[in-house]
Structure 1
Amino acid sequence: MAAVGSHVSAAAVHGLPWLRGWPDDVHLTVPKTQYRSGTKGLVLHTRPVQPADVVAHGGLRFTSVARTVADVALQGDVRTTVVLADAALRQGLVKRDVHRALGGLPHHRGRALAARSIEFADPRSGSPAESLARVVFWELGLPAPVLQQRFDVGGHRYEVDFWFPEQGVIVEIDGRAKYAQERYRNGRTAAQVIVDEKRRHERLNSVPAVRVIVRLEWRDLWDLDALSLRLRTAGLPSRARPVRSARDLTT
């Protein structure tokens, strides 16, 4: 099998998000006989690719979405994997196809964490920020939240990003896009969006089961000490816990 674009390069072609900004390097998967180390601007991988895991794009060949997610998962970065896999699932990817693309045996190095990361993925996370937040919440030892919980308030129906029913806490991820980009404003001005968000917040606060609403931004998800303190203040049992083992990663 000749060289194919893979990993982050394939993710870009498939329109999938990348967590830490797009690198300049091109990633290719090649037969072991073609492997060369230390090539500037080119990162080579040698895990064998089956013909069924190759797709054409613009006259070039890339790994399929399932194989791309599997390759990234095998690199061991749970955050990046979940952000990628959530988006791929929203596009229609089926988890069993990713597990097939993982290959190997369950006890192979890195495969257990990769498989658990894929199982953790959930298409209900509506953005990369929500996907990252779910992993961060797990890292901090929070209970598993309900995703996209619906609340009916005064004739209005709202879906919240994260709902912790035992603690009565809603967590919302605020992005600037909802105010700055027309596709999210639905014909409204930025000022109208702000007013609508304020009314939404007030109505959700009126729900008897809701005790606290926490609003987070992308930048809040990177300072775990500050975030942990803020969530504990809101009543969530949070503690700093780095990712150590796939064994505890559950949905």
Structure 2
Amino acid sequence: MLENLEVPSASPEGLILAASLWASGLTTRAVRAMLASGELVRIRRGIYALGDTWRRAETDDRYRLFVRATVLAAEQPLLLSHHSAAALHNLPIIGPWPKVVHAINNDATGGSSARFTTSHRSVVEPESIALSGCSATTLTRTLIDVAASASFLVGVTMMDHALRVEQERVQGEHRRGISGTPALSKDELYGELATVQPRTGRAQARRAIDFANPLAANPGESLSRVRIAELGFEVPELQVRFVVHGQEYWVDFFWRGVRKIGEFDGKVKYTRGVILGDRHPGDVVVAEKDRENLLRPHVNSFDRWDWDTAHSPRRFYEFLVEHQVPRA
């Protein structure tokens, strides 16, 4: 029924306003039928998405749709912040996204919650930028707000990602002969923390900045680092280079004192993503095994773990003890 819905908001990635449905000639009864059949999904009252778009969307994309729909439905302009700004900055999260949209509102008394929106007061009026048609806090401010209010794991994961992506951006611009803005640095984060002066979570945010490392290649490595530290084990070096038969190899984790290599095996590397590329998953597995066999003679041990192991503190603790990872 949506073939004639020729409006920008009906794009596969977009939201569909009720006004667009009525303008296309659809009746209330027809819209209800499409909702019942799954052809349409209601995100907020009067705001919809294509059913196929919603079903194919990852959790991150669904939350972004919800955030954008809430901005459209708001009676007053929203300045997105915290997790909601983080989602629009494409920052990763370990754990669920919130069920509400976070925004800065200095008219709120000490922070307030509504059914779909949680408002926060700010000591310093935040700078805003435009993201996906919404007004949101800057990347630096967003990282500080999240680190001060969320878990240490979430704060570190987002900071690791942002620092790495920013370094990759600058390196890419340099290769193309572009002189752009400098990469986000820890100094900027410390400076933003001093400026923001969050009422709570200041020490936790500083700890997250201290611990953040752009060498963490993905959220699984960030998760592993945080768990290793929290469980009382020695935090390893990241992305250490080995040269075997004139060929360079980089490993995720290295405990130099005991010459132990550690590797985080995310299932994504065998199913999709840049590591897989156009290769068959089986070929990637064989290549990983060959790489491990080349490296083993140069160290005392080589251990691998997966997402489920790292995510469970109990299982990961048992794994680290069993594989004789040094204590902090």
Same fold (TM over 0.5): yes
Residue 224 of structure 2 corresponds to 133
Residues in 1 aligned to 2:157 and 2:224: alpha-carbon distance in whole angstroms: 10
| The 10-residue stretch of structure 1 (6-15 or 72-81) with the greater mean CA deviation from structure 2 | 72-81
Check conservation: 1:214, 1:234, Cα contact below 8 A. Answer: yes
Shift of 1:7: 0.7
Sort the Cα spacing of 1:58 and 1:222 in 2 relative to 1 into closer, same or farther, 3 A: closer
Q: Deviations over 1:195-226 (max 9, x none)?
A: 1011011111121xx11111111111122222
Residue 120 of structure 1 corresponds to 211
Residue 77 of structure 1 corresponds to 151
The counterpart of 1:152, out of the listed 243, 263, 288, is 243
Residue 188 of structure 2 corresponds to 97
Shift of 1:49: 4.5
Residue 325 of structure 2 corresponds to 236
Residue 11 of structure 2 corresponds to none
Shift of 1:3: 3.8
Sort the Cα spacing of 1:107 and 1:61 in 2 relative to 1 into closer, same or farther, 3 A: closer
Residue 22 of structure 2 corresponds to none
Check conservation: 1:76, 1:113, Cα contact below 8 A. Answer: no
Sort the Cα spacing of 1:81 and 1:154 in 2 relative to 1 into closer, same or farther, 3 A: same
In the alignment, is residue 217 of structure 1 matched against residue 292 of structure 2?
no
Residues in 1 aligned to 2:220 and 2:286: alpha-carbon distance in whole angstroms: 23
Shift of 1:34: 7.1
Check conservation: 2:244, 2:295, Cα contact below 8 A. Answer: yes
Shift of 1:165: 1.1
TM-score (norm 1): 0.85
Q: Deviations over 1:105-140 (max 9, x none)?
A: 989642122112112101000000101111111011
In the alignment, is residue 19 of structure 1 matched against residue 56 of structure 2?
no
Check conservation: 1:167, 1:235, Cα contact below 8 A. Answer: no
Sort the Cα spacing of 1:138 and 1:19 in 2 relative to 1 into closer, same or farther, 3 A: same
5+ residue gaps in structure 1? 240-251
The structure with the larger Rg is: 2
Check conservation: 2:111, 2:118, Cα contact below 8 A. Answer: no
Residues in 2 aligned to 1:169 and 1:104: alpha-carbon distance in whole angstroms: 41
Structure 2 letter corresponding to 1:156: Q
Secondary structure of residue in 2 paired with 1:82: helix
Check conservation: 1:105, 1:111, Cα contact below 8 A. Answer: no
Residue 104 of structure 2 corresponds to 29
Residues in 1 aligned to 2:129 and 2:113: alpha-carbon distance in whole angstroms: 27
Residue 65 of structure 1 corresponds to 139
Q: How do 1:170-209 and structure 2 match up within 5 A? A: 170-181=261-272, 183-207=274-298
Question: More helix by proportion, 1 or 2?
Answer: 2
Q: Deviations over 1:55-90 (max 9, x none)?
A: 112332100000000001111511100000011111
Residues in 2 aligned to 1:41 and 1:75: alpha-carbon distance in whole angstroms: 18
Sort the Cα spacing of 1:224 and 1:77 in 2 relative to 1 into closer, same or farther, 3 A: same
Higher relative CO (Cα under 8 Å, sequence separation at least 6) belongs to 1
| The 10-residue stretch of structure 1 (164-173 or 90-99) with the greater mean CA deviation from structure 2 | 90-99
Q: Deviations over 1:153-172 (max 9, x none)?
A: 22322111100011221110
Residues in 2 aligned to 1:63 and 1:180: alpha-carbon distance in whole angstroms: 34
Check conservation: 1:228, 1:238, Cα contact below 8 A. Answer: no
The counterpart of 1:40, out of the listed 115, 123, 137, is 115
In angstroms, what is the RMSD of aligned CA positions?
Answer: 2.3
Sort the Cα spacing of 1:34 and 1:62 in 2 relative to 1 into closer, same or farther, 3 A: farther
Residues in 2 aligned to 1:147 and 1:124: alpha-carbon distance in whole angstroms: 6
Residues in 1 aligned to 2:198 and 2:155: alpha-carbon distance in whole angstroms: 19
TM-score (norm 2): 0.66
How many equivalent pairs are there?
A: 235
